[in-house]
Chain A
């Protein structure tokens, strides 16, 4: 029997109450917001930070969005029951959640650089971090990916990136790092619109 999936609805302006209650000022319910800490001193891999802001089509910073990221560990293994290539690093969550700052719109994740992951259809995917964005006015969460500009050879061989026709727009998701910090600004619309994925 096939059931029809429940439709998605906007997260609304108060998503923080439910998903980052401590950040929204509701203390004393949970010790910490889920997804706030991805790494510990025992986590394997190169420490990086990913930060940025989300812009709408008019260039206005979106300040009430919430972002979740998923990624493989340093060896390219995922912290998931579906991982078949061995256990992922037990000291790495592989998942993070961050509310954009209500004043500045900035988000920031402190994580590690992931390894490459095999593509189900063959070949290797370049290291990447999957992003999921929800906010007021967005009915269906937006999916995109951050790739690392220094991985030139791996990027050229990536089976998903190869399918993107507009090569000039790859720069919206292939991001150079500076001292381990990757600034990933996300444009929801307009001439600089980020490449979003239908997954």
Chain B
């Protein structure tokens, strides 16, 4: 992810999944703010400066056991115009492909220990607390790189494939 400057480096690792069917060779795309909480996007106006050495996007294909690793920096939290004083917890956006398009997923990964998680209205749009917890990556000391990078583990579970489809949104959203 073009992380050439020192910062708080983070690696992510998805160890062998307990699922009988792991997603082999699946495309994962990620995007995130830089260490100061600024996105490299022309419509982004947050006062934190752009980092000339950080692009903010990455992609990879999972291996034969469904694992992936991104080497990046810890994104900064950032304020956003919602309520009077709302901050997004540090997060990384994830886009994941399954085998069929019914499994297509976009979600966000949070970091264990971030006090902003439970104050965030976007996190709060998920009513089930256990479901929220499944989006919080856990610190993974065994996979840290000494004197270099901390590690967080974020497992992703895609929905099962369904062969039938039904329509339920005829009336409103």
Binding site for B on A (CB under 8 A): 1, 3-19, 21, 24-26, 29-30, 34, 64, 68, 70, 80-82, 102, 120-121, 130, 132, 134, 139, 141, 160, 163-166, 169, 188-189, 193, 195-199
Contact = CB atoms under 8 A, between A and B. Distances in A.
Contact of A11 (B40, B57, B106, B126): B106
Contacts of B162: 199
Contact of B167 (A4, A12, A197): A197
B131 interface: yes
A121 B165 CA distance: 10
A67 B116 CA distance: 30
Nearest to B126: A7
Given A9-B107, A21-B55, A24-B41, A15 B19 contact: no
B106 A198 contact: no
A26 B56 contact: yes
Contact of A80 (B57, B99, B106, B132): B99
A80 B100 contact: yes
A184 B118 CA distance: 39
DSSP majority for the B interface?
loop
Nearest to B170: A166
B29 interface: yes
B144 interface: no
Interface of B: 2, 18-20, 27, 29-31, 39-44, 55-57, 59, 93, 95, 99-102, 104-108, 122, 125-126, 128, 130-132, 134-135, 156-160, 162-170, 172-173
A197 to B, nearest CB: 5
Contacts of A121: 164
A1 B41 contact: no
Nearest to B18: A1
A29 B157 contact: no
B170 A195 contact: yes
Contact of B157 (A5, A30, A165): A5
Contacts of B132: 7
A11 B99 CA distance: 20
Nearest to A134: B106
A174 to B, nearest CB: 14
B41 A14 contact: yes
B57 A3 contact: no
A81 B25 CA distance: 12
A88 to B, nearest CB: 14
